[in-house]
Chains A and B, each alone.
Chain A
Amino acid sequence: MSAPLIEVTDLGKTYGSVVALRGVTTSVRAGEVTCVLGDNGAGKSTFIKILSGAHQHSEGSYRVDGVEQHMSSPRDALALGIATVYQDLAVVPLMPVWRNFFLGSEPRRGPLRMLDVDLMKRTTRDEMAAMGIDLRDVDQPIGTLSGGERQCVAIARAVHFGARVLILDEPTAALGVKQSGVVLRYIARARERGLGVVFITHNPHHAYPVGDRFLVLRRGQSIADRPKAELTRDELVTLMSGGAELDALEHELERDHPI
């Protein structure tokens, strides 16, 4: 097993007197997917904000390649190769795919510093192909792609611009079953390309097939951090949905609706 790209130990975050996150320990390795699961308000957002450099942790340690880091902005994280793909994806719907792909970092050439359109189109096509999407018409507005395909453009863009660790914030949350499948396939593809992936989701059925390590958060605390070998799908579902609480709920609902 390779050395972890990211290693967090007893990570915690307090906002004033509010404890948002406490005692989180996990790791992200190259070629592996670390899934972060939790219900709304479990601390997932706080956790990725720390990982992506948007917030600083107040307890514990956050090491990248074994070196302790205190990032002060997402730019610092990017410089270390940690890229975050947010739910809104930061794309401009009316612009063609290739323009979106390079937005903000457009390659130029020649004495007039014109856009290197051929390179941009070719790179977009190639990078999308590497993600498994055969996008022959890179000229179509990105808004005409499906939600899953748009996710993939955002992921491919992050990879192209040097990401070693991808943080995916609920990439399947707004998608249907089929589109979610598309995105999960690309997560697997990114993993095969040797990237470390942090996959945030509240859906254990999306996490289990693709994940190598599972961090489950509840009310700001880590309740599990296990490799796939030590966890079954059912255990994950139970952990995720609150175990005993769910049993009680099930019991209650059954009594209300006798078959």
Chain B
Amino acid sequence: MTTAAPARVAPARATTRVLRRPEVGAAVAALAVLLFFTVVADQFLTPSGIGTWLNSASRFGIMAVAVAMLMIGGEFDLSAGAMTGATGLLVGVATTGYGLNVWVAVVLALVVALAIGALNGVLVVRTGLPSFIVTLGTFFVLQGIDLALVKLVYGQVAVQGFSDVPFVESVKPVFGGTLAIGGASISVSVLWFLAVTALATLVLLRTRAGNWVFAVGGAQASARATGVPVARTKIGLFMTTAAAGWLVGMISLFQSSTVQSSTGVGDEFIYIICAVVGGCLLTGGYGSAVGAALGALIYGMTRQGVVYAGWDSNWLYAFLGVMLLAAVLVNNAVRVRAERLR
């Protein structure tokens, strides 16, 4: 080359390359949490212990991965938690209350979830309002329906007798089954978690749609100028989050054979926290599915670890807050370092 190539564009060293990945901070933090509870609680690293915290992590992780994609696309979905409750209730009430076939009910719940997701997306794209506000609205509407409508048509706020519904046993292996792996009983939800994370990673890093997700979140005007279909991308993301909500709703319902009107309320913040711990920027355009999955793993490990350590389970919140802040700080420091060093 004849012209001067500035020294700054020298190839990055392998270590810098690794450190530049958004999920590195979460990986370090997850390892720290794992070691900590392994030392503090005897049961933590036993097969049954692992099965328990993996199950816990998976139910949050599926959502965290979807929410991370949405956050990379520059939006939030506060209705994500209530969605897990609403879809579960829909199936529970329709089958036990109205005798609907359970398979039909499961598919119907997916259709309803996708419709709500699309509505969220269209409202955000059309109005230009912050998704924080729009989905806060949908969240409260869903919460209201979960409580009032269910009480009205069903007479109570928790589904009863779900395990007696015909054909439930034929659906259960799909969402609520367990697999015996090396002495541990691993929930099928863990497989869903792995599959969702792998699929999300593939979509984000190796497809056109994934490229568009990063672009609409990183610089919407630039994305539009280069011909990226911004509205379609965002609506798709909201529908993805809603579909993930449905999946988690089904997993909760078929694992426990019951669902309450309050199921999932408040979890939407856990999802966002997991995504942020996993390296997602609150401002969009940066993050990873693997990171969010690791964030959920940290959450699941902490949640069960506190119990195994024999502490008052309410310490979970305080402990979690500290862990999260620490993880975010580690994450931030690593990222800043990676961006400075090239």
List residues of A whose CB falls within 8 A of some B CB: 86, 88-95, 99, 102-106, 108, 113-115, 117, 129, 132-137, 139-141, 144-146, 149, 182, 185, 189
Contacts and interface: CB of A to CB of B under 8 A. Distances in A.
13 contacts: A90-B225, A91-B219, A94-B218, A94-B281, A95-B285, A114-B206, A115-B210, A136-B11, A139-B20, A140-B9, A141-B339, A146-B6, A185-B3
Contact of A104 (B8, B9, B228): B228
B2 interface: yes
Given A95-B214, A132-B2, A115 B222 contact: no
Contacts of A103: 211, 215, 222-223, 226, 228
Contacts of A129: 1
A79 to B, nearest CB: 13
A53 to B, nearest CB: 14
Query: Most chain-B CB neighbours within 10 Å: which of A106, A146, A149?
Result: A106
Nearest to B222: A90
B207 interface: yes
Interface string B215-255: 10011011101111000000000000000000000000000
A135 B9 contact: yes
Contacts of A94: 214, 218, 281, 285-286
B207 A140 contact: no
B181 interface: no
Nearest to A130: B1
**Secondary structure at chain A's binding surface: helix, strand, loop or mixed?**
loop
A100 to B, nearest CB: 8
A105 B227 contact: yes
Given A103-B211, A104-B227, 6 more contacts: A89-B222, A90-B226, A92-B219, A103-B222, A133-B1, A135-B5
A104 B211 CA distance: 8
B334 to A, nearest CB: 15
Contacts of B3: 132-133, 182, 185, 189
Can you list the 10 inter-chain pairs with the closest CB atoms, starting with the nearest? A104-B227, A104-B226, A132-B3, A134-B5, A92-B218, A90-B225, A90-B222, A92-B219, A136-B11, A106-B208
Interface of B: 1-3, 5-6, 8-12, 17, 20, 202, 206-208, 210-211, 214-215, 218-219, 221-223, 225-228, 281, 285-286, 339, 342
A141 B20 CA distance: 10
A94 B219 CA distance: 9
A132 B8 CA distance: 15
Nearest to A108: B208
A137 B6 contact: no
Contacts of A86: 225
A175 to B, nearest CB: 14
A93 B20 CA distance: 15
Contacts of B11: 136-137
Contacts of A102: 211
B1 A137 contact: no
A92 B8 CA distance: 20
A134 B218 contact: no
Contact of B9 (A93, A106, A136, A182): A136
Nearest to A75: B227
